[in-house]
Amino acid sequence: MDIQQLKYFSRVYETRSFTRAAEQLYISRQALRKSVARLAQELGEPLFENEANALVPTAAADQLFTSSRPVLAAFSQMEADLNLAKLKSRGVVRFGSSVEANDVMTPGETKRIADFSATNELITKGMRYMEGSCEQLRQQVLQEEVDYANIIATVMNESLFDYDVAIEGRIHIAVRVDDPLAKKDSLTLEDIKGRPFTSQGPGYDVHERLKEAGEEQGMPLDFVCLRSGLHNRLNMVQSGITLTYAYRPLRFPRSAPDVICIPMEDASMKWAYCAIAKKGLGDPYLLRFFSGKEDFVLW
């Protein structure tokens, strides 16, 4: 039995659903079921039973859930104390942000979430700032080259990262208002099959999710332009050259007045704007600070 198993079990117990728990943990249902099954095998007792299509905890699960509360709380506090001491001893927090992160936010949300673009101010606060793709930042966090990072994630491995979700939503497709697709309330991959499509490119989660989903369904997207930021991608949609993805049903009256964003129908087409840290090194207060949920004064 380990802490990770207890965390996974607890989320299933609280949600009464492997599906909802897996979505909240950003892992597959299969991986979650295997973890809970291994825990039940170690205990020698079943933890959940299916009754009338409902997941019901057993007496052993009730007891384990109650007993594990103080253990998980104490472990989280220990992780937080050790990490904060480590950061203070070094005297600097190294923070990264994926280069498309601001694309997901409304102006009001941008004000709510700390603006890390003023490098000089960051230095006076004992921080260092860098940018990169989701893939680059994950690797830097795991290699402890970066302490915290904000990324737009479609999958999050809780066995590797601590994280706090700031904003989440459904992947949207940006189309011109005079495009036949603009009449639809939602879109599928079938709707955009064969249409020229521009993207941020490899290393970004939304690109990878769309690419993977297209290949799984035998209708790979026709990527004609990669490594392109949202502003350029919207200009190409405005000009009628391609389609692209966006994060929310936002309008862009200055750069793309004739473009609207329509949500993807598939429930798996979702993203979350997260603050992440390496597993066991993420102080929960700093994670909430970087996700815009905590007013925090850095030493």
Comparing C-alpha atoms, which of 214, 236, 216 is closest to residue 225? 236
Residue 108 covered by a domain: yes
pLDDT confidence tier of residue 116, bands split at 50, 70 and 90: very low
- How sure is the predictor about 88, in pLDDT bands with cuts at 50, 70 and 90? low
Give the pLDDT score at 261: 93
Burial of 294 per CB tally in 10 Å (0-12, 13-18, 19+): middle
State the CATH number of the domain containing residue 217. Answer: 3.40.190.10
Residues 197 and 245 in one domain: yes
Strands (E), the chain: 48-51, 54-57, 93-98, 127-132, 148-153, 161-170, 172-176, 196-198, 222-225, 243-246, 259-263, 270-278
**pLDDT exceeds cutoff 60 at 120:** no
pTM (2 d.p.) = 0.65
- In the structure, what pLDDT confidence band is assigned to residue 189 with cuts at 50, 70 and 90? very high
Q: Are residues 150 and 197 in the same domain?
A: no
Candidate ranges 8-12, 21-25, 124-128, 292-296; pick with highest mean pLDDT: 8-12
Same domain for 256 and 201: yes
CATH code of 62's domain: 1.10.10.10
**Residue 117: pLDDT band by 50, 70, 90 thresholds?**
very low
Tell me, yes or no, whether 102 and 152 share the same domain: yes
Residue 297 in domain? no
Domain count, the chain: 3
Encode pLDDT of 5-55 as tens digits.
898 899 899 989 888 888 777 677 888 889 999 999 999 989 999 888 789
Backbone angles phi, psi at 193, to 5 degrees: -60, 130
- Predicted confidence (pLDDT) per residue in 217-254, tens digit: 888 899 987 777 888 889 999 999 999 999 888 777 77
Residue 263 and residue 189 share a domain: yes
Q: Judge if 230 and 118 occupy the same domain.
A: no
Residue 163 CB burial class (10 angstroms; 0-12, 13-18, ≥19)? buried
Q: In the prediction, which pLDDT does 167 show?
A: 87
Q: Are residues 283 and 144 part of one domain?
A: yes
Q: Are residues 186 and 64 in the same domain?
A: no
Does any domain span residue 299? no
pLDDT of residue 281: 82
Query: Residue 76: its pLDDT value, please?
Result: 73
**For position 123, what pLDDT does the model report?**
43
Do 32 and 152 fall into the same domain?
no
Asked, for residue 295, whether it belongs to a domain, the answer is no
- Whether 111 is covered by a domain: the verdict is yes
283 and 152 within one domain? yes
Axis-axis angle for helices 3-15, 59-90 (nearest 10): 120
Residues 251-265: what's their mean pLDDT?
A: 86
What residues make up the domain containing 286? 91-168+271-290
Report the pLDDT value the prediction gives residue 296, as an integer from 0 to 100: 47
Task: Give yes or no: residues 140 and 276 share one domain.
Answer: yes
- Assigned domain for 12 exists: yes
Is the same domain home to 280 and 137? yes
Residue that terminates a domain, selected from 84, 111, 143: 84
Confidence band, pLDDT 50/70/90 cuts, at residue 83? low
Contacts of 14-19 spanning 24+ positions with Cβ under 8 A: 16/54, 16/55, 16/56, 16/57, 17/55, 18/55
